[in-house]
Amino acid sequence: MHNAIRKDKFEISELRGLPSGYYILRKQGSYLQSRGLLETLTITDIPLHAESSSLTFFHPEAMKFFECGDIAFVSPKGVLRVVLSKLANHNTLLVTERCDNLCLFCSQPPKDNDDSWLLSQAAMAAIEFDSNESLGISGGEPLIYGQSFIKFLDTLIDYKCDKSLHILSNGRKFSDTKFTLELAKRRKDIDLTFGIPLYSSVPHIHDMLVGSIGAFRDTMQGLINAGNAGIKIELRIIPTKENIDTLSQTVELVSRSISNVVQFSIMNMEATGWARKNWKQLYIDPIKYAEELEKSVLVAHSAGLPAFLFNYPLCHIKAELEPLALKSISDWKNFYPEECSDCSKKYQCSGFFTSSKGIFHEAPRRIV
Ligand code: SF4
C-alpha cells in the first residue's frame, strides 16, 4: 500500500471525562462481539442528540480508519489513538512508558510516572483484539515491573490467547536469573520472542548510547541468561557514528557467546523522538559503512544465523544485501520522494520514513 496514510489519532474533546486507558471500538450500527473485559466506545459520524448513550462519540471521519473490534487508547487529554487494528500490517501494544535506559535515539522518550496499571489493561486489550497475528509488545521497558509482566503473560495464557508475542526489551531485567527462569517457564504455553538491542561489544559505547552506566553489563548478563533459559532472542543493532566501528565485532560477540539468537536485525535510525535532537551526533549515511555492514552480515551467516536489514532504502545499500533488506516501514509511515517515481525497485523498497522529511532526509540514489 504505497504512500497510504492511515490516520490513527483523533481528538474528541468529549472523551476528556473518561478514564485514560484501552477501549474496544465499535462503529455505530454495527454488531460487536466481545468478552466484556474492556469498555466499548461507539463512534458515529452523525452529530449526536442530547439523549445519545454516554459512551457514543461523534467524529466526522474516524470511522473510515478503524474496524469494529479494534482497540484504542484514550489519553487524559481526550485523544483517541487506534492502537490495534485489523487494517494495520503490524500491531504493537504499549505496556508502560517507564524505562531504565535513556537511549540517545529513543523513538518514544520514557516518562517516570507509575503506570503499572497499564499492564493489566494491556492484557485485556490483547485478549479482546480479535486477530491471530503476532503482537508486538513495547514500552518504555516492558519488563520494568518484573513480576507484573509475568502476571501479564499468565493472564493471556489463562484466557487461551494464542497470539505469539514479540517483546521489545533492553534485556536488563534478565540479569536476574530467578526472574528469567520464572518467565521462561511460560514458553510452553505462549510463543515468545524478545527483541533485545546490544549496540556495541565495547561496554562504554553501549552505555553511552543507552544513557546508562552499567547497562552493558546487565544486558550481556541478561542475554546470556535468557539464551540459556531457551528464550528466543532477536538481536537488534542501530548503526551510528559512535558504534559503527564495532558493528561486525558486536555481531561476532553475540554469535559466539549467546544461545538461542534467532536473528540479527540491523536497523537504520528513524528520525523520531530523541533521535531528532541527536541526529548530527549519531546519524551516519549507510554508504559510509557499506563494507562494515556487509562484513557484519557475513559474520552472522558464518555462525549460521540470519541477518536482516530494516528501514534501508535499497539505493543506500550494496546490491548484494538487497535480498536482506525487508520492506519494514509500516504502510502509513513511509514516503517516496519524487526521485523514486520511476525507480525500478520501488515496489520492493520501503522508501523513507515520513518522519525523515526535511533536514533528516538523505536523498535517494535512484536505481533505473
Ligand atoms: S530511489 Fe526510492 S524506491 Fe528506488 S531504491 Fe531508492 S528509495 Fe527505494
Residue whose CB lies within 8 A of the most ligand 1 atoms, among 3, 311, 312, 315, for a mutation test = 315
**Per-residue pLDDT tens over the stretch 235-266:** 999 999 999 999 999 999 999 999 999 999 99
Residue whose CB lies within 8 A of the most ligand 1 atoms, among 327, 361, 366, for a mutation test = 366
Kindly tell me if the per-residue pLDDT of 4 is higher than 60: no
Question: Residue 70: pLDDT band by 50, 70, 90 thresholds?
Answer: very high
> What local confidence, expressed as pLDDT, does residue 89 receive?
81
- The ligand 1 atom nearest the CA atom of 351: 7
Any bridge partners for residue 237, and if so which? 266
Q: Does domain 89-310 have CATH number 3.30.9.10?
A: no
CA distances from 337 to 29, 107, 118 (A): 40, 23, 39
Residue whose CB lies within 8 A of the most ligand 1 atoms, among 327, 345, 357, for a mutation test = 345
- The ligand 1 atom nearest the CA atom of 313: 7
| Longest CA span, the chain | 68
Q: Hey, which of 69-78, 81-90, 171-180, 308-317 has the most confident mean pLDDT?
A: 171-180
CA of 356 to the centre of ligand 1 (A): 14
CA 317 to chain CA centroid, Å, is 23
> What local confidence, expressed as pLDDT, does residue 84 receive?
96
Question: Residue 336: pLDDT band by 50, 70, 90 thresholds?
Answer: confident
User: What is the Cα–Cα distance from 270 to 106, expressed in whole angstroms?
Assistant: 9
Domain ranges, ordered by start, for the chain: 1-77, 89-310
**C-alpha dihedral (361, 363, 367, 368), degrees to nearest 10:** 120
User: What is the Cα–Cα distance from 7 to 85, expressed in whole angstroms?
Assistant: 11
The residues, ordered by sequence, that sit 6+ positions from 254 with a Cβ below 8 Å of its Cβ are 198, 223, 235, 261, 264
Is there an atom of ligand 1 within 6 Å of 367 CB? yes
Question: Residue 1: pLDDT band by 50, 70, 90 thresholds?
Answer: very low
Cell digits of residue 322: 538487497
Is there an atom of ligand 1 within 6 Å of 329 CB? no
More confident residue, 366 or 229: 229
Cell digits of residue 161: 490467547
Entry pTM: 0.92
Is there an atom of ligand 1 within 6 Å of 314 CB? yes
Residue nearest to atom 2 of ligand 1 (CA): 340
Question: Residue 333: pLDDT band by 50, 70, 90 thresholds?
Answer: low
Kindly tell me if the per-residue pLDDT of 331 is higher than 70: no
The residues, ordered by sequence, that sit 6+ positions from 50 with a Cβ below 8 Å of its Cβ are none
**Per-residue pLDDT tens over the stretch 120-148:** 999 999 999 989 899 999 999 999 999 99
> What local confidence, expressed as pLDDT, does residue 365 receive?
67
Is there an atom of ligand 1 within 6 Å of 351 CB? yes
